[in-house]
Structure 1
Amino acid sequence: MRTVGLSLGLALLCLLRVEAENLGVAGLDKSKIAGKWYITALASNSESYLQKKDKLKMAMANIVVLGEGNLKVSFAIPTAEGCQKSEAIYRPTGTPGEYYSSDRGNKIAQVVDTDGKTYAVIFVSRVKDGKTLHMLRLYSRTRQVSPRIRALFKKFAREKSFTNEMIRMLPSQDECSLDEA
């Protein structure tokens, strides 16, 4: 679960890429990606994920834009052991819209699609124990996602070679959240 949690934040960072494409780098309004997001769906080829996917619930992430293009991402992830909270700093790689965190291995993410306001579909890759793991995530500003966005997520998952068995729409939960400070 820690692996899933740490990877979740990196995916959000890639929202900057889409915003940069939409607004031009000079006019990038990073505040549009700042704030609270719900992780509402996942698709992954990770053995660990596949074994636990039916028990997973919606997680939360919060992004704070820092200086030099860095982002601080906080997570609240419901697990069997309780609510796990973590925080990480992600740095730009030098490629527009690409960020990494070297905590527990390098993670790279890219935005597949977003409107920059209500949802984002993000693809994350990382290498663990010599294997490349992939995860596609659906982020939403609200707990409820429209049928159109759910279908769009599933379409992108199939395009990334995820099978229906690898896709999970996450049920909502109230027991694990980020404190609003």
Structure 2
Amino acid sequence: MRTKVISVAMVILCVMMVNADVKPQKDFNLQKFAGTWYRVGLAYDSPGFIPFRDKVKASMGIITPMSSGNVNLTMWELTPFGCITKMYKYNKTNVPGQFAYFSTRHNMVKDITVVNTNYTDYALVLKHKVFHREYTQVALYARSPRPPRNEVIQKFKTFALSQGFPRESILTPPAAENCPPSGSTR
């Protein structure tokens, strides 16, 4: 039992060290980051997610900055029950490019870090909660539903691997059909 506790503690320490080195985009500009983004890549290896990996489609979101520095995110995701809309409020932190939000699904506060973006084509985003490896995700966002250039996809995969994700947990899902439905993003 003691060996198991030590092993778990070592895994937690390794995850903390990996995520501690992640810095947000230098000179992050929220106004330039605002607008429509499509999640065209995802790295997530939660055991509960594995059965659904083949069903994932690219999702669309709209980032709306608030005067407070917080962000509202409206996401449309295609699920087996149809196209659903989710609303998120990301609270600013003291570090530009880092946000926090309360996940009702996991009942905890999570950190969001915009790791790298050129604002016009792509963004690499890390979502994590320190101490809980199963809640870490890496996402690749693009300004269109089409995947970005191959070098951007490789950058995404390399970053996901550096965060400890196995290759089989790194996805570049196809675009969703009619999600969001035409005219629903106004």
TM-score, structure 1 as length reference: 0.78
The aligned counterpart of 1:10 is none
**Which secondary structure does the structure 2 equivalent of 1:110 belong to?**
strand
Contact 1:106 1:127 in 2 (8 A): no
- Report the aligned-residue RMSD: 2.0
Equivalent in 22, 46, 50 of residue 27 of structure 2:
22
The aligned counterpart of 2:120 is 117
Contact 2:45 2:134 in 1 (8 A): no
The one-letter amino acid paired with 1:119 is Y
Count residues in correspondence.
157
How many angstroms does 1:127 deviate by?
A: 7.0
The one-letter amino acid paired with 2:81 is E
The one-letter amino acid paired with 2:27 is N
The aligned counterpart of 2:20 is none
Task: Render the CA deviation track for 1:41-65: whole Å, top value 9, x for unaligned.
Answer: 1001212222211110000110111
How many angstroms does 1:131 deviate by?
A: 5.8
The one-letter amino acid paired with 1:125 is H
Equivalent in 91, 106, 109 of residue 109 of structure 2:
106
Structure with the greater alpha carbon radius of gyration: 2
Change in 2 beyond 3 A, CA 1:132/1:172: closer
Task: Render the CA deviation track for 1:86-106: whole Å, top value 9, x for unaligned.
Answer: 112211133332211124121
Task: Render the CA deviation track for 1:102-143: whole Å, top value 9, x for unaligned.
Answer: 241211021232112210111111379x66521000000012
The aligned counterpart of 2:163 is 160
The aligned counterpart of 2:84 is 84
Which 5+ residue runs of structure 1 have no aligned equivalent? 1-16
Identity level (%): 26
The one-letter amino acid paired with 1:117 is T
Distance in 1, matches of 2:32 and 2:115, equals 17
The aligned counterpart of 2:173 is 170
The one-letter amino acid paired with 1:97 is G
Distance in 1, matches of 2:70 and 2:134, equals 25
TM-score, structure 2 as length reference: 0.76
Which 5+ residue runs of structure 2 have no aligned equivalent? 1-23
Moved over 3 A (4+): none
Contact 1:111 1:120 in 2 (8 A): yes
Alignment of 1:16-165 (within 5 A): 17-18=24-25, 21-22=26-27, 28=29, 30-104=30-104, 105-126=108-129, 132-144=134-146, 145-165=148-168
Bigger mean CA deviation after superposition, 96-105 or 141-150: 96-105
Distance in 1, matches of 2:129 and 2:82, equals 25
